[in-house]
Amino acid sequence: MAIGQIQAAVTGARPEAGDDALPAHVAIIMDGNGRWAAQRGLPRVAGHRAGVQAVRRTIEAAVAQHVGWLTLYAFSSENWRRPETEVRDLTGLLRHFIRSELDELHREGVRIRIIGDRGRFDTDIQADLVAAERRTTANTRLNLTVALSYGARGEIAAAARAAAEAVRDGKLDPASITEESFAGYLSTFGIPDPDLILRTSGERRLSNFLLWQSAYAELVFTDVLWPDFGASEFAEALAEYARRERRFGARPG
Ligand code: FPP
């Protein structure tokens, strides 16, 4: 690991794409909007609004740092249990975000994918999500995956169900199921596993996020609350990643 690469990440200079010191895929658990608002005596929705600004900054940082894949945990399958007003605030922000940002994201070369149970959102949002995916499908600069109404256990159970149905229909031999072929039933099919999973706000949990895909991910936790997250915090996380030695279960060489 060259010191220069770490410095490059900290100073914002660009490490080379394809460099092992640079994670190809960064996945982020955006946490702390509520606490950020409470610290300021503001309603929770103000924290979520500020969180959307942090989403914008983070997408820009990922593009600037040549990270090819970015996944954001925007709404968990458990978030539906929050009070109705907060769910409405969050879905409203999502609706507004897609409508106001899509042109710019498309211009920037961002390809948008959605994972999760999108069928639980209002039909106009579902239509916007499909439109965003279709419109940006040929973009290659940044692959942005937004996890919405997503839960990893639900995802794995759905994959098991689909494989079982294929066996029942005589299309799949159970003996042929491997880790690789099973991954093909997950919603992340075609997306490389995350190299780095980052969580803000000091919590140290995965909270049902990418449980299968995170098997060998480096986990980085920062005390920064999500609305305060931006380019320099993103660069710091990349620098922390660059300091880690990844062995994938093997012995150090
Ligand atoms: C965690 O903060 C954050 C969320 C539940 C949602 C994240 C959503 C956004 C950043 C805005 C919407 C996103 C898009 C893509 C438009 P929390 O409310 O759990 O904070 P707390 O733990 O401090 O209460």
Say how far apart CA 82 and CA 85 lie, in whole Å: 8
Ligand 1 pocket residue status of 35, Cβ below 6 Å: yes
pLDDT in tens, 145-176: 999 999 999 999 999 999 999 999 999 999 99
Ligand 1 atom closest to the Cα of residue 76 is 5
Residue boundaries of the structural domains of the chain: 22-152+193-243
- 63 CA distance to ligand 1 centroid (A)? 22
Ligand 1 pocket residue status of 207, Cβ below 6 Å: no
Weakest mean pLDDT among 57-71, 98-112, 152-166, 236-250 = 236-250
Report helix, strand or coil for 139.
coil
**Cα-based distances in Å from 230 to 75, 125, 154, 222:** 20, 27, 31, 12
Ligand 1 pocket residue status of 28, Cβ below 6 Å: no
pLDDT in tens, 37-76: 999 999 999 999 999 999 999 999 999 999 999 999 999 9
Q: Are strands 25-29 and 69-76 parallel, antiparallel or unpaired?
A: parallel
Ligand 1 pocket residue status of 93, Cβ below 6 Å: yes
Of the residues 31, 89, 128, 195, only one is catalytic, namely 31
Say how far apart CA 73 and CA 200 lie, in whole Å: 11
- 170 CA distance to ligand 1 centroid (A)? 43
Say how far apart CA 117 and CA 147 lie, in whole Å: 9
Ligand 1 atom closest to the Cα of residue 86 is 18
Of the residues 79, 193, 208, 228, only one is catalytic, namely 79
- The answer to whether 79 is a known catalytic residue is yes
Q: Which CATH number fits domain 22-152+193-243: 3.30.70.100, 3.40.1180.10, 3.30.1330.10, 3.40.50.11820?
A: 3.40.1180.10
Query: Which pLDDT score, from 0 to 100, does residue 250 have?
Result: 81
Residue nearest to atom 7 of ligand 1 (CA): 74
Please list, residue by residue across 191-212, b when 16 or more beta carbons sit within 10 angstroms of its beta carbon and e when fewer do. Answer: bebbbbbbbbbeeeebebbbeb
Element at 28 (helix H, strand E): strand 25-29
- The answer to whether 20 is a known catalytic residue is no
Say how far apart CA 73 and CA 57 lie, in whole Å: 15
pTM: 0.92
Which of 157, 133, 153, 129 lies closest to 143, judged by CA? Answer: 133
Find the largest Cα–Cα distance for the chain: 60
User: If you ran DSSP here, which 8-state letter would residue 77 be given?
Assistant: G
